[in-house]
Structure 1
Amino acid sequence: MSAKSKLSTLILILSLVFLYAGCLAFAKQDPELKQCTHQCRVQQQYDEKQKEECVKTCEEYHREKKDRESLKEVGQDPDVEFHPGGELSECQSRCVGLAGEVRQLCLFRCQQKWRRDYASRWEEEGKKQSKEDAEDEGEEEKHNPYVFEDKHFSTAIKTGKGRVDLLTKFTHDSDILRGIENYRLALLVASPKSFVVPNHFDANAIFVVTQGRGTLTLIHEDKRESFNIETGDIIHVRAGTPLYLINRDDNEKLFIVKLLQPINQPDHYEVFYGAGGAKPESFYETFSTEILEAALKTSRDKLERFFDKQGKGPFLEASREQIEAMSSHEEGSKGGGLWPFGSESKSKSAFNLFRKREPSHCNRYGQLFEVEEDEFKRLKDFDLRVSYANITKGCMSAPFYNSRAIKIAIVVKGEGYFEMVSPPVSPKSSQEDSGGRKSGSRYQKISSRLRSDTVFVVPAGHPFVTVASRNNNLEILCFEVNIENNVRYLLAGEGNYVQQFEKEAKELAFKSKEEEVDRIFGNQDEEFFFPGPRQQRGRDYE
């Protein structure tokens, strides 16, 4: 179709539109649109494509007219004046030769197109900004030195019967946690009826059983010490102590969290396997053959055949008879009683968090079990407290901070999140960054989702809070290092530290009357565990 023909068609369509718009000014909109589209379809000089274009123009005009009427209803003038410069001005310049209603419609359509283009550009800018925000958030996560997730674990040992996962060094990405740089965290998972071959490591260790039942045997200088272990048991293992372990359950896996303090090298320890052969490699085989022959008083051929038998890795399957023999309550001439039956063993190397003990804090919103140095003397070697928090679903712990202790926490079960107040770890020059720090702010909010095996560290003096999801309880195992002379300062709830302020200190600090300060800090009458944000206000913080 030629340009002249297209122009004639457009003029005819506009004429039809305004003709029927004028005739039906007081009619309902739907009949007006119906009449306009009918006239398009009965034009004999139009082919089918032109008729469709005519109908579309009627529909577009009908929509625009409704928009104009809506603008008038809210007190806005839909008529458009000229805007110098830019795409809108260029479009409006084409309306100069028109007059009356035709000119007004032309201007209106220019404005509508400009608005659509502007909205489109705004949407694109929004998408771009969202992408940048997501990248910033991801960058912030990279620089969050306090939280460690699955990606921060490496599998040190793995077979079909079990594995050991080792957490990266606490100072791997930042030196902000160098106060605990000489600690490492590891997770041991043993399948049912599995046996962990004898080994030792150059680190002092605290083992905590978080699930399952097993038997752990330690070889001391002059005796063997065995423990029938279960959920909640804490075992102290001195550096270099030979040990072996069985999972004595037929169905349930055995989970042990290990906190290790290396002896030879800061933040690094080695595991040495005495038993074994090709896999795991026995350290016996590293010695020269001549040395082994002399030391074991055995020929080379026998030694080669002997050490070549074991090749299935450090986790092996044990028979029911073997498990029962190692976990039975028997004493050998050089053996000790199986804990928890042997009281002497119990007092020295092992302790249970839950057995015959009351929680240190307990209400319907949560429970906290703690083991102090005076209860389990071996913790004094680490200057350590071990605790286990079970926060009811939808509830939270009280915000608090430790005066000296650094908390190393690992989520055992459930989901939730935590928030912590920190000095800036990734400062931005302007605006509010994804970590919650405003420009010029002295503090930064560190927050993270919590799920099974998430590890988070809370340095001394840093206020923090943990919140359980509304679907599951949140269970957290904690190691608190530097516990000697530590004080826990509650920031809310019964016993919070503001309640100890003098009247004048309250009024000066908060620029409020003492009564108002007491009312704010006395509203929460629960201690240590509270209803969570959702329960109190119905808001979704996740």
Structure 2
Amino acid sequence: MAMTNKLTITLVLLISIAFFHCLAFRLEFEEFEPRQQQEEQEGPGAGHGGSSGRGWEEEATNNPYHFKERSFKSWFQSKEVGYMKMLPKFTKRSSTLFRGIENHRFMFMEMEPNTFLVPHHVDADFVFIVLQGKGMIGFVTDKTKESFEIKKGDVVRVPSGVTHFFTNTNETVPLRLAKIAVPVNTPGHFQANFPSRSKFQQSYFSGFSNDVLSASFNIPEELVGSLIRGSQQMGQGIIRRVSPEQIKELTEHATSPSNKHKEKGKGKEKDTSTMWNPFNIFKEDPIYSNDFGHLHEAHPKKFSQLQDLDISVSWINMTQGSLFLPHYNSKTTFVVFVENGCARFEMASPYTFQGEQQQQQKPWFEQEQGEEQEQEEEEMSGQVHKFVSRVCKGEVFIIPAGHPFAVLAQDQNYVAVGFGINAFNSKRTFLAGQENMLNNLDKVATRLSFGVGSKMAEKLFTSQNYSYFAPTDRSRQFPEKRKPSFQSIFNIAGF
């Protein structure tokens, strides 16, 4: 009987030790964990798309930064050969939120296997990245012609006014490109110009009279009609099916991008490539990388093709359940296009959207001085508006400069590309992780700013074990030695 009582007391003691050990461990890390009371305090409708008791899927409907697939307009579309789609001017969604990128347009293009996009030039500079497949791009000027093989990860600059054409050389996989355009004539607008006529596109030669064309090309006027009308191509669009033999002829002199355009200068590698020479974003080491994500970036400081446009190109790949830690960019606004999977974007913004819609009922030149002053005061209101969206493949999210944001990869691996506008002198500042900016705050400054005790101030910004990318599963955050060991407890008890 005494033995039984002793065993019972020992078991109760062990359970108590284990309970208090776990409780202490939980309290240690929940001491400074933010309490989720903001939703209850703010009530419905707070923050114009922020915490309001609704699911974030519903909140996304009022998110001006999220462009779904239906937002795209078809520039060209054919089930047989491919399509081009373009977002409307960003300022059509909001004239104030996107004023800084009003002269930029985003496009997406897909060409089916064994197809050819006819030569043309555009009154806009383009930067594109290959998302999938392989192909060839050709450039033609009055002095030279060059063609390059392109594949996944290749970034290419297409200067304004340079005639170029594409070929998808893959027999099974579509060629997919994401593009950012910078128009040179009318802000936010551009046009493509084609020398040859197609089903829905006139030749630019149709803008000249027959006698001018006859004299210009030194051909009889009866031949001018075939130049303008192109009767044999009337039934075809700007993307056309081609035979393997024609692809072989087109790609016969294409070269593969290499490092031969780089040379050493003043102790570092100098880029001396031509303006349209492709380069592969994956040949550069990722700027951020761990088990949960990788971020590759082509920056205008390193690649001369991007310098005058002040545009960077990024490729991000995150594992399922990982988090791109909260941060902001000092000058760069990112146009992010999702290539695979879905992610939850969370962003804090000082700007309202619904309030601006009400102001837009009157043109700016009809607003009275009091209304303008009211708008300026609203910009300094001190309110933070939370924008949350589930962004999936084929959709776009805009991240303005200075806006803190985070990205959570959800049901599968997440892949996206980003075009950074005003990238040259921008700095990325992380607000969480081992290398976060707030970790450099003096502990006294932390206590005074956040109203916390000394112990909490030490832990608040120093408990994250990862930089840049981190797991959302908390059990993966801590080293094994910090997890409660029930085996060690039993060892202490003599078992």
TM-score tier (shorter): 0.7 to 0.9
Distance 1:525 1:242 in 2: 51
Contact 2:56 2:389 in 1 (8 A): no
- What's the offset of the Cα at 1:416? 1.8
Instruction: Tell me which residue corresponds to 2:378.
Output: none
Tell me the alpha carbon deviations over residues 409-428 of structure 1, each in whole angstroms, 9 at most, x when there is no partner: 11011112111001242468
Instruction: Tell me which residue corresponds to 2:480.
Output: none
Distance 2:255 2:153 in 1: 17
Distance 2:233 2:414 in 1: 42
Letter of the 1:445 partner, please give it.
K
Instruction: Tell me which residue corresponds to 1:41.
Output: none
Distance change >3 Å, CA 304–CA 279, structure 1 → 2? farther
Instruction: Tell me which residue corresponds to 2:243.
Output: 319
Query: Which aligned pairs between 1:241-256 and structure 2 lie closer than 5 A?
Result: 241-256=162-177
- What's the offset of the Cα at 1:525? 1.2
493-502 or 143-152, larger mean C-alpha shift: 143-152
Asked whether 1:308 is paired with 2:231, we answer yes
Distance 1:136 1:299 in 2: 70
Instruction: Tell me which residue corresponds to 2:70.
Output: 151
Tell me the alpha carbon deviations over residues 478-502 of structure 1, each in whole angstroms, 9 at most, x when there is no partner: 1111122211110111100111112
- What's the offset of the Cα at 1:141? 5.0
Query: Which aligned pairs between 1:11-410 and structure 2 lie closer than 5 A?
Result: 141=60, 143-159=62-78, 160-175=80-95, 176-306=97-227, 307-311=230-234, 312-328=236-252, 330=253, 338-341=255-258, 343-344=260-261, 347-348=273-274, 349-410=276-337
Contact 1:385 1:481 in 2 (8 A): yes
Distance 1:141 1:498 in 2: 29
Distance 2:259 2:441 in 1: 49
Distance 1:157 1:272 in 2: 14
Contact 1:233 1:350 in 2 (8 A): no
Distance change >3 Å, CA 518–CA 221, structure 1 → 2? farther
Contact 1:489 1:496 in 2 (8 A): yes
Tell me the alpha carbon deviations over residues 329-374 of structure 1, each in whole angstroms, 9 at most, x when there is no partner: x3xxxxxx72315834982333434443321111111111111223
User: The residue matched to 2:215 in structure 1 has which SS?
Assistant: helix
- What's the offset of the Cα at 1:277? 4.6
Aligned residues: 386
Q: Which among 466, 470, 485 is matched to residue 407 of structure 2?
A: 466
User: The residue matched to 2:283 in structure 1 has which SS?
Assistant: coil
Distance 1:527 1:134 in 2: 31
Letter of the 1:446 partner, please give it.
F
Contact 2:63 2:389 in 1 (8 A): no
286-295 or 206-215, larger mean C-alpha shift: 286-295
Distance 1:287 1:535 in 2: 71
Measured on the aligned residues, the alpha-carbon RMSD in Å equals 2.5
Instruction: Tell me which residue corresponds to 2:7.
Output: none
Which consecutive unaligned segments of at least 5 residues does structure 2 have? 1-51, 263-271, 356-380, 478-495
Instruction: Tell me which residue corresponds to 1:71.
Output: none
User: The residue matched to 1:522 in structure 2 has which SS?
Assistant: coil
- What's the offset of the Cα at 1:456? 0.7
User: The residue matched to 2:120 in structure 1 has which SS?
Assistant: strand
Letter of the 1:320 partner, please give it.
P
Letter of the 2:208 partner, please give it.
F
Distance 1:289 1:138 in 2: 59
Asked whether 1:419 is paired with 2:346, we answer yes
Q: Identical aligned pairs, as a percentage? A: 30
Asked whether 1:530 is paired with 2:470, we answer yes
Instruction: Tell me which residue corresponds to 2:440.
Output: 500
Tell me the alpha carbon deviations over residues 121-174 of structure 1, each in whole angstroms, 9 at most, x when there is no partner: xxxxxxxxxxxx999999965643211111110101112211110111111121
Letter of the 1:218 partner, please give it.
F
Distance change >3 Å, CA 378–CA 397, structure 1 → 2? same
413-422 or 528-537, larger mean C-alpha shift: 528-537
Asked whether 1:442 is paired with 2:366, we answer no
Distance 2:158 2:207 in 1: 26
Instruction: Tell me which residue corresponds to 1:80.
Output: none
Distance 2:93 2:54 in 1: 19
Instruction: Tell me which residue corresponds to 1:48.
Output: none
Q: Which among 398, 423, 426 is matched to residue 483 of structure 1?
A: 423
Distance change >3 Å, CA 355–CA 196, structure 1 → 2? same
Distance 2:349 2:256 in 1: 43
Contact 1:144 1:425 in 2 (8 A): no
Distance change >3 Å, CA 136–CA 361, structure 1 → 2? closer
| Higher strand proportion | 2
Distance change >3 Å, CA 532–CA 373, structure 1 → 2? same
| Higher helix proportion | 1
Which consecutive unaligned segments of at least 5 residues does structure 1 have? 1-132, 331-336, 429-439, 538-542
Instruction: State TM-score, norm by structure 1.
Output: 0.67
Structure with greater contact order relative to length (CA < 8 Å, sep ≥ 6): 2
Distance change >3 Å, CA 135–CA 447, structure 1 → 2? closer
Tell me the alpha carbon deviations over residues 31-75 of structure 1, each in whole angstroms, 9 at most, x when there is no partner: xxxxxxxxxxxxxxxxxxxxxxxxxxxxxxxxxxxxxxxxxxxxx
User: The residue matched to 2:232 in structure 1 has which SS?
Assistant: coil
User: The residue matched to 1:301 in structure 2 has which SS?
Assistant: helix
Distance change >3 Å, CA 393–CA 141, structure 1 → 2? closer
Letter of the 1:443 partner, please give it.
V
- What's the offset of the Cα at 1:404? 1.1
Contact 2:443 2:458 in 1 (8 A): no
Contact 1:278 1:308 in 2 (8 A): no
Instruction: State TM-score, norm by structure 2.
Output: 0.73
Contact 1:406 1:480 in 2 (8 A): yes
Distance 2:53 2:459 in 1: 40
Distance 2:336 2:436 in 1: 23
Distance 1:226 1:376 in 2: 19
Contact 2:137 2:165 in 1 (8 A): yes
